[in-house]
């Protein structure tokens, strides 16, 4: 059977999507039902998003309004993805 390059790329993309979905499922359920790892992971992803766009945030030529749009459209959603399902304990809230 002959597969085109496009078909192979589609197959790779679908495998990557399945793999990422499995990672998300694994992170949400752990042995002691603690959400601290997930929160720390989200904060790390937010830091990565910030440092990937650090040039725009530090550039004086970019307006404050544009920086806020960048924050609200990229960094904030990255950190808060899935937070509706987080059950926070008192020690997590205070830290």
Domain limits at 11?
Answer: 5-27+35-94
- What is the per-residue pLDDT for 35? 77
DSSP H/E element including 55 = helix 54-58
DSSP H/E element including 57 = helix 54-58
> Domain count of the chain?
1
- What is the per-residue pLDDT for 40? 86
- What is the per-residue pLDDT for 27? 54
- What is the per-residue pLDDT for 1? 45
For every one of its 95 residues, what pLDDT tens digit does the chain have, with 9 covering 90 and above? 454 555 545 666 555 555 655 555 555 555 666 678 888 888 899 999 999 999 999 999 999 999 999 999 999 998 888 777 777 777 666 76
In the chain, how many H helices and how many E strands? Answer: 6, 0
């Amino acid at each position: 059977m002959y597969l085109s390059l496009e078909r192979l790329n589609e197959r790779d993309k679908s495998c990557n999507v399945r793999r990422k979905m499995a990672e998300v499922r694994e992170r949400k359920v752990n042995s002691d039902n603690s959400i601290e790892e997930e929160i720390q992971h989200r904060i790390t992803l937010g830091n990565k998003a910030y440092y990937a766009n650090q040039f725009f945030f530090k550039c004086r030529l970019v307006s404050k309004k544009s920086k806020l749009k960048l924050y609200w459209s990229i960094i904030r959603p990255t950190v808060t993805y899935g937070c509706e399902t987080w059950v926070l304990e008192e020690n997590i809230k205070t830290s």
